[in-house]
Amino acid sequence: MTDTFDYHVLGIGNAIVDVLSQTDDDFLVAEGLAKGSMNLINAARAEALYAAMGPAIEASGGSAGNTIAAVGNLGGRGAFFGKVCDDTLGQFYRHDMRAQNITFDTVPLKKGESPTARSMILITPDGERTMNTNLSACVELGPDDIDENIVAGSAISYFEGYLWDPPLAKDAFRKAADIGHAHNRKVSITLSDSFCVDRWRDEFMTLIKNGTVDILLANDAEIKALYQTADLDTALKAIQQDCALTAVTHGVEGCFVIDKDGVLAVPTTPVTNLIDTTGAGDMFAAGFLYGHAKGLSNEVSANLGNLAAGEVLGHIGPRPQRSLQQLAEQKGLL
């Protein structure tokens, strides 16, 4: 891929502010929460859960949003479409994107309309995160928010699977995918979450099989959920038939990159200070997609992904606290 584009990666996703709190397994059980899941909740449930949970910190999040912020942090050119409200949290969100040099001009809702979305993220001592998201303003993202020029100028348009939850966003996806392909750009999605795969399996499968998706991102649980198999190898062989390029993260072991040539395992160095897995998959996507957009090999791109994921595991919050670009340069990856 040559560098004749305005943006390495355009991300489209739910713009969410994370409210992150450390807790214990007992609390998850008491609240009836499956560890590691993303739960969609309404305002009343959000209020009740917030009242019950411990002290928190707030950080801009959202899956594709995290990825695009990290593309900027890696030194790439990124853009983002996502719906916030022009309230305090929406202003934080916009700031945090623009401070990473990300183009983010989606028109926000007005104050008094739905507020900026929040996700209450409960982090257990094993580092796993369990998310409770009230989509509020995100529900309003639709086809009108797709800026054609930005899609046409982006090497890769990247969509989170969570976008299938709000009703209008999948129309936005279809519009953007068509524009991208009309300009010989690539379209990428992440499966986001195995529960999300259960909700939208048929639609995801269709998009993959009909060639709408050029690059698929998933973790091992999600790719197994897609093919409803307990065997990872089976799932990897199946996706090789169905998608041109797939990267599957595999916990502390690293990832697999699957294309027509086969399955490439790219190991990682497990972190010694696992605190919070929030955003790790999003960081992997950032490194992998940025590398791909720059024309780097699958192996180097996967190593960039592993590196970025490793950075966020060592602290609370979904986005890098150090310069990924510097870390990648030190490792000879950029």
Instruction: By CB under 8 A, tell whether 95 contacts its own copies.
Output: yes
H/E stretch holding 245 reads strand 245-249
Stretch that binds its own copies, among 1-9, 19-27, 199-207, 294-302 (CB under 8 A): 19-27
Q: State the Cα–Cα distance between residues 300 and 90, nearest whole angstrom.
A: 35
The burial of 111, by beta-carbon neighbours within 10 Å (0-12 exposed, 13-18 middle, 19 or more buried), is given as: exposed
Residue 112 interacts with its own copies (CB under 8 A)? no
- Residue 51 touches its own copies, criterion: CB under 8 A: yes
Q: Say whether residue 16 binds its own copies (CB under 8 A).
A: no
Listed residue (205, 142, 199) closest to 174, CA to CA: 142
Give the whole-angstrom CA distance, residue 157 versus residue 142: 16
3 state SS of 127: coil
Judged by CB under 8 A, does residue 313 bind its own copies? Answer: no
Find the binding residues for its own copies in span 64-93 (CB under 8 A). Answer: 69, 87-89, 92
Taking the least distance from each CB to its own copies, the nearer of 257 and 316 is 316
Q: Are 234 and 248 in contact (CB under 8 A)?
A: no
Considering only residues 10, 12, 33, 53, which one is a binding residue for its own copies as defined by CB under 8 A?
53
For position 6 contacting its own copies by CB under 8 A, the verdict is: no
Q: Does 157 bind its own copies (CB under 8 A)?
A: no
31 lies in the binding site for its own copies (CB under 8 A): no
How far apart CA 311 and CA 227 sit, in angstroms, is 31
Among 14, 39, 63, 100, binds its own copies (CB under 8 A): 100
CB of 187 to its own copies, least distance (A): 27
Find out whether 256 and 275 touch, Cβ atoms under 8 Å.
no
Please answer whether residues 160 and 189 qualify as being in contact, where contact means their C-beta atoms are separated by less than 8 angstroms.
yes
174 in contact with its own copies (CB under 8 A): no
Of 158, 147, 146, 123, which Cα lies nearest the Cα of 53? 123
Q: Which of these ranges, 163-171, 183-191, 257-265, 318-326, lies near its own copies under the rule CB under 8 A?
A: 318-326
Scanning 193-201, 219-227, 304-312, 314-322 for contacts with its own copies by CB under 8 A, the matching segment is 314-322
Q: Does 56 bind its own copies (CB under 8 A)?
A: yes
Q: Which of 73, 72, 92, 77 is nearest to 15 (CA)?
A: 92
As a whole number of angstroms, the distance between CA 271 and CA 193 comes to 23
Question: For residue 44, what are the CA distances in angstroms to 36, 47, 50, 51, 111?
Answer: 22, 5, 10, 11, 20
- 106 lines the binding site for its own copies (CB under 8 A): no
Interface mask toward its own copies for 262-281; x: CB under 8 A: --------------------
- Pairwise CA distance, residues 198 & 94, whole Å: 32
Give yes or no for residue 297 binding its own copies (CB under 8 A): no
- Asked if residue 60 binds its own copies (CB under 8 A), the reply is yes
Q: Residue 202 CB, nearest distance to its own copies (Å)?
A: 37
CB of 299 to its own copies, least distance (A): 29
> Is 201 an interacting residue with respect to its own copies (CB under 8 A)?
no
Binding site for its own copies (CB under 8 A): 19, 21-22, 50-51, 53-60, 69, 87-89, 92, 95-97, 99-100, 115, 315-317, 319, 321-322
